Amino acid sequence: MVCRLYNAAMTYKQPISVLVIIHTPSLKVLLIERTDFPEAWQSVTGSREGEEQLIDTAIREVAEETGIVVTRESMRDWQLSTDFEIFDIWRHRYAPGVTTNTEHVFSVQVVEEVDVVLSEREHCRHRWVEWAVAAEMVFSPSNAEAIRMLPERVAH
């Protein structure tokens, strides 16, 4: 499958986002490939809209990007955030002068490798992979680090 890039008019993104690791009980992790960055695999990510609570951002982004519907009770807030420099290719999405984003980590466990309905404008393929493999596949260092923490986080 060839990934297609969709151009959509958008307003500036907030430099506050979520990273949501979707996993099975056996720690297979869902990865999705970006349309605007071929071979760039990642977990669900997305910026907060308006004044929504971060858990609501996480729930919305999971639904928008994968079609998976989750509840507040199933979402685990890691109480962990990372500040990182926004990649040059995506800085135009933020207000002039914004170069840093704060990413908040969440996870959600699904019972099995569920079917995924991707948002075609954002992602073109998905894969369920073992957590250690997933940590090596993702392009984002903060995403890789969060996936490496998954076994310990799930154990607690």
Q: What residue segments make up the domains of the chain, in order of their start? A: 16-155
Q: What is the pLDDT along the chain (156 residues), one digit of tens a residue?
A: 555 444 444 589 999 999 999 999 999 999 999 998 889 999 999 999 999 999 999 999 999 999 999 999 999 999 999 999 999 988 999 999 999 999 999 999 999 999 999 998 999 999 999 999 999 999 999 999 999 999 999 986
What's the rounded Cα separation, in Å, for the pair 156 and 152?
7
Confidence (pLDDT) at 21:
98
Confidence (pLDDT) at 3:
55
**Distance from chain centroid for Cα 94:** 18
Task: Note the CATH architecture for domain 16-155.
Answer: Alpha-Beta Complex (3.90)
Confidence (pLDDT) at 36:
87
Q: Which residues have CB under 8 Å from 92's CB, separation 6+?
A: none
Sign (positive or negative) of CA dihedral 35, 36, 39, 45: negative
Confidence (pLDDT) at 38:
86
Confidence (pLDDT) at 4:
47
